[in-house]
Amino acid sequence: MGKQFPSMLPEHMDFIRKQRLFFVGSAALSEEGHVNISPKGYDSFRILSENQVAYLDVTGSGNETSAHIKENGRITVMFCAFEGPPNILRLYGTGTVVLPGSEEWEWLYGGFTPLEGARQIILVDVHKVQTSCGYSVPFMAYEKERDTLRRWAAQKGEEGLKGYWQEKNRVSIDGLPTPLGELLDRTQ
């Protein structure tokens, strides 16, 4: 049976810090809009307080979470125990997209290990934490991080990444604008 909390407890934070993978869920408001679930890896997640977290978002083939946050702010972050005792932990909150060059970026980015292809930081104000059993989640052993994205981003270089973002990350698959797309439009 799931349990709900208004903020993260120390044991929740300890569990989160041990995870190497998390999932982000967001959705457009329209009935025709898509629900997006994205897996996230690397050392890209930070707990800022008992009710605030952030993750360093790297370049991807889409930018759905960013568009959904711009449209309605809703975001869910989920962690699953693949090792040790079973557990699922969800953080329900309201997101903000923090872009390079902003004052918030300068403050937040220093708390992350730099990653090639970093395009934005997703800041989440958490209003509910929920845990559930995770009894059906399989055991899986962590082997290592993939370096494919890092090598790809390094090969693209700064200008190549900006071109890729312009082509692939300006709008969602539903045509919703992203904050990154708006930044790119302003700087051209």
Six-digit token string for 143: 């082997």
Adjacent-strand bridge partners of 24: 38, 77
Q: Kindly list the distances between the CA atom of residue 47 and the CA atoms of 59, 110, 152, in Å, as whole numbers in the listed order.
A: 21, 14, 28
Closest CA to 77 of 121, 32, 128, 111: 128
Adjacent-strand bridge partners of 52: 49, 125
Sign of the torsion angle spanned by Cα atoms 66, 68, 70, 76: negative
What is the pLDDT of the chain when averaged over all its residues? Answer: 96
**pLDDT reported for residue 123:** 98
What is the per-residue pLDDT across 10-37, written as a single tens digit (0 to 9) for each? Answer: 999 999 999 999 999 999 999 999 999 9
Domain housing 147:
3-187
3-state secondary structure (DSSP) of residue 20: coil
d(CA 17, CA 12): 9
**pLDDT reported for residue 2:** 87
Adjacent-strand bridge partners of 35: 27
Q: What value does the mean pLDDT take over residues 74-92?
A: 97
C-alpha triplet 68, 56, 157: angle, nearest 5°: 105
What is the per-residue pLDDT across 46-67, written as a single tens digit (0 to 9) for each? Answer: 999 999 999 999 999 999 999 9
Whether residue 188 has pLDDT greater than 90: no
3-state secondary structure (DSSP) of residue 125: strand
Whether residue 1 has pLDDT greater than 90: no
Share of the chain above pLDDT 70, in %: 99
What is the per-residue pLDDT across 134-186, written as a single tens digit (0 to 9) for each? Answer: 999 999 999 999 999 999 999 999 999 999 999 999 999 999 999 999 999 88
What's the domain count of the chain?
1
CATH number of the domain residue 105 falls in: 2.30.110.10
What global pTM score does this model have?
0.96
